[in-house]
Structure 1
Amino acid sequence: MTVLRPHAEDQYAEELAVLAKTDDRSRPPGWRLSPWAVTTYILGDGDQISPKYIGPRRVVEVAVATLATDRALLLLGVPGTAKTWLSEHLAAAISGDSTLLVQGTAGTAEEAVRYGWNYARLLAEGPSREALTPSPVMRAMAEGRLARIEELTRMPSDVQDALITVLSEKTMPVPELATEVQATRGFNVIATANDRDRGVNELSSALRRRFNTVVLPVPATEDEEVDIVSRRVTQLGRALELPETTTAMEEIRRVVTVFRELRSGATTDGRATVKSPSGTLSTAEAISVLTSGIALAAHFGDGVLRPADVAAGIVGAVIQDPVSDRVIWNEYLETVVRERPEWRDFYRACRDA
């Protein structure tokens, strides 16, 4: 059976094996690779190891160094800054297992962080180790691995606070059994949070103190963002087995330019200001728009990515509020896009869309 999206430790098993074989630097207890090798795995070496994250090296080094201590790591950033992607690859490189995951939502229960019960066994036998159902966090503690918590600030505050004892005392009490689970060496927690969600369920000061926060920046330059988008679009096309298309870098750069200008509120040359829509227009959304465009070009076009293939995706990404965003988008089309002679085909495609 071929899975749609292999876990990082499976998809990049060969690269991890190469690093493990050549890695002669000291490794923290429970780590499969040294901090240096983990950083190389994340950023690539220009040869055998492909880059998984494109961004400031220091950001990755601080994240890796944090996990080598007893401090938990909080990856903070706007949507689309690769928080989840980075946390998965950190867990794969350090623990060899990125699957110990808690997905934070408004409905996440405390059992997702602590433990639950097999109620059939509980009713039949009473409280016992066999009836206990460990959470991913409890399993990570027992096995000396990294636990991942996605969208921490979307979890209710009382569920968040279940982490305080885990992170400070490295233990999880199980009062029903008059025992506890103690963390073994190698255990730590990587959490992610969207900084646009501040105020949804703000972290308590007690919990925030137990994390070292690393802010993931948006790509600093247009060229950097184009590089990120083109790499991911190529990877996704292969993973989805989309037919080969001629992916025009011109269209990739155009999508990135539109998103960056609307995000920043100014054109790239700085000569004009534009209004920003309500959506985030993240790098991840640009990747999605282009991947959908490639599918259109491959299955319903001539195999060449053209403005008409990406126009509908861009319009859908920009217009989240059907009233205010539509006005902003139309104004951008008429005052910016229309005035660029080399963008005439793109202007017509967006108007048709």
Structure 2
Amino acid sequence: MTMPETSAPTADTAGESVGAEVLRPHAEDAFAGELAALAAADDRPRPARWRLSPWAVATYLLGGTLPDGTVITPKYVGPRRIIEVAVTTLATDRALLLLGVPGTAKTWVSEHLAAAVSGDSTLLVQGTAGTPEEAIRYGWNYAQLLAHGPSRDALVSSPVMRAMAEGMTARIEELTRIPADVQDSLITILSEKTLPVPELGQEIQAVRGFNVIATANDRDRGINDLSSALRRRFNTVVLPLPATAEAEVDIVSRRVDQIGRSLDLPGGLEGIAEIRRVVTVFRELRDGVTADGRTKIKSPSGTLSTAEAISVVTNGLALAAHFGDGVLRPGDVASGILGAVVRDPAADRVIWQEYVETVVRERDGWKDFYRACREVGA
């Protein structure tokens, strides 16, 4: 999608002054100021066709302060080594597979890696059960094909084909949701770095700088497992759930603040107490034990991921802004938590009601949240 013409944002305003008409700018547009500042300060060797050096790419993802005082905001909060391994993989001839449970920022990391490495995160194949082989290889303009027969003009390049020809980074989301025979069309591309076009008696050879970032989640294991041949073409990096509650609160706060500014909602940091509460509830139900380790509880069927916590808090901010006084309160998040927890109406509702009565009800300082949960049907 083409951005409206606007002046480039500075690093201080990245993400908030980019294209007022665009609801969700691409990473390379939203953080153009930071990427430009990193490029100007980056004096380290860069692989062919990379916009930044591996060190600068890692700094863009993890955050830091440049010598000129420019602050690079962290895009990923987690172990540094994970990002370093991911960036190093892209600098080799092996493709990168980001693996983890839903909500561990696989898509987010994939987008920002592509933005920092190639300056373009839009060469994307969205994996679904109906993704055809053409989405990965190439298709045809059938009007041209019928009128003039097979030709380069009739060929419709896939994002992967374009990335090969231009030395860019292609992204494939939800790889394990793609049918197995379509997945395997990647084998020749990743191993031989070439894409045969037998209809034309030609091939597209990848130029230096080309690579692929794929994502897959652990819950999809068994839907369309990767063949061993394809798995060997990837270096797998597992993105874990946040290790601590504080880390998860930090992640949720940052993303809610970014999303809230794009939607003109009140600042998420003003509701930090409710963000902590949402994170606490999600972590306890996810782990099957209270934060103090004293009480075991049942876990519901859903993942209760960090991404879902961000969604719950963002929706709560919208409720507070449009139907409250602008301050995030327990009543604004209670219904969102209920919707995230109760996926199986029979089993999950019992688990949620038990949690509310045995944990929430007895916790100091949570009486208002308990009442809000009761009001929405707990």
Q: Smaller-chain TM-score range?
A: over 0.9
**1:304-343 deviations in whole A, cap 9, x for unaligned?**
1110000000000000000000000001011111111310
What residue in structure 2 maps to residue 274 of structure 1?
A: 297
CA distance in 2, matches of 1:61, 1:120: 47
CA distance in 2, matches of 1:104, 1:303: 38
What residue in structure 2 maps to residue 130 of structure 1?
A: 153
Structure 1 residues 245 and 156: alpha-carbon distance in aligned structure 2, compared to 1, 3 A threshold: closer
Residue 27 of structure 1: which of 25, 33, 46 is its match?
Answer: 46
What residue in structure 2 maps to residue 98 of structure 1?
A: 121
**Contact 2:266-2:327 within 8 A present in 1 as well:** no
Question: What letter corresponds to residue 49 of structure 2 in structure 1?
Answer: G
Greater relative contact order (Cα < 8 A, sep 6+): 1
CA distance in 1, matches of 2:24, 2:364: 41
Residue 87 of structure 1: which of 110, 113, 137 is its match?
Answer: 110
What residue in structure 1 maps to residue 273 of structure 2?
A: 250
CA distance in 1, matches of 2:72, 2:357: 45
**Contact 1:79-1:194 within 8 A present in 2 as well:** yes
Q: CA deviation at 1:12?
A: 0.6
| 2:219 aligned with 1:196 | yes
CA distance in 1, matches of 2:266, 2:63: 27
Residue 205 of structure 1: which of 206, 212, 228 is its match?
Answer: 228
Question: What letter corresponds to residue 5 of structure 1 in structure 2?
Answer: R
**1:173-195 deviations in whole A, cap 9, x for unaligned?**
00000000000000000000011
Structure 1 counterpart SS, 2:99: strand
What residue in structure 1 maps to residue 365 of structure 2?
A: 342
**Contact 1:141-1:183 within 8 A present in 2 as well:** yes
CA distance in 2, matches of 1:242, 1:342: 26
Structure 1 residues 245 and 108: alpha-carbon distance in aligned structure 2, compared to 1, 3 A threshold: closer
Structure 1 counterpart SS, 2:372: helix
Q: Which runs of 5+ in 2 are unaligned?
A: 5-20
| 2:189 aligned with 1:166 | yes
What residue in structure 1 maps to residue 144 of structure 2?
A: 121
Question: What letter corresponds to residue 299 of structure 1 in structure 2?
Answer: H
Question: What letter corresponds to residue 347 of structure 2 in structure 1?
Answer: S
**Contact 2:138-2:157 within 8 A present in 1 as well:** yes
**Contact 2:256-2:268 within 8 A present in 1 as well:** no
Tell me the matched-pair count. Answer: 353
CA distance in 2, matches of 1:243, 1:85: 23
**Contact 1:319-1:329 within 8 A present in 2 as well:** yes
What residue in structure 2 maps to residue 11 of structure 1?
A: 30
What residue in structure 2 maps to residue 221 of structure 1?
A: 244
| 2:324 aligned with 1:301 | yes
What residue in structure 2 maps to residue 74 of structure 1?
A: 97
What residue in structure 1 maps to residue 256 of structure 2?
A: 233
| 2:179 aligned with 1:156 | yes
Structure 2 counterpart SS, 1:342: coil
- Larger CA deviation: 41-50 vs 154-163: 41-50
CA distance in 1, matches of 2:341, 2:266: 27
**Contact 1:251-1:306 within 8 A present in 2 as well:** yes
What residue in structure 2 maps to residue 313 of structure 1?
A: 336
What residue in structure 1 maps to residue 18 of structure 2?
A: none
CA distance in 1, matches of 2:357, 2:245: 23
**Contact 1:141-1:187 within 8 A present in 2 as well:** yes
What residue in structure 1 maps to residue 12 of structure 2?
A: none
Structure 1 counterpart SS, 2:270: coil
| 2:279 aligned with 1:260 | no
Stretches (4+) displaced over 3 A:
243-246
What residue in structure 1 maps to residue 312 of structure 2?
A: 289
| 2:160 aligned with 1:141 | no
Q: Identity across aligned pairs (percent)?
A: 77
CA distance in 2, matches of 1:50, 1:239: 17
What residue in structure 2 maps to residue 322 of structure 1?
A: 345
What residue in structure 1 maps to residue 209 of structure 2?
A: 186
Structure 1 residues 202 and 295: alpha-carbon distance in aligned structure 2, compared to 1, 3 A threshold: same
Q: CA deviation at 1:75?
A: 0.1
Structure 1 residues 206 and 246: alpha-carbon distance in aligned structure 2, compared to 1, 3 A threshold: closer
What residue in structure 1 maps to residue 8 of structure 2?
A: none
| 2:63 aligned with 1:44 | yes
**Contact 1:245-1:304 within 8 A present in 2 as well:** no
Q: Which runs of 5+ in 1 are unaligned?
A: none
CA distance in 1, matches of 2:182, 2:240: 28
Question: What letter corresponds to residue 125 of structure 1 in structure 2?
Answer: H
What residue in structure 1 maps to residue 200 of structure 2?
A: 177
Question: Following superposition of structure 1 onto structure 2, how do residues 52-71 of structure 1 map, counting pairs within 5 Å?
Answer: 52-71=75-94
**1:57-103 deviations in whole A, cap 9, x for unaligned?**
00000000000000000000001100000000000000000000000
Provide the aligned C-alpha RMSD in A.
0.9
Q: CA deviation at 1:247?
A: 2.5
Q: CA deviation at 1:245?
A: 7.1
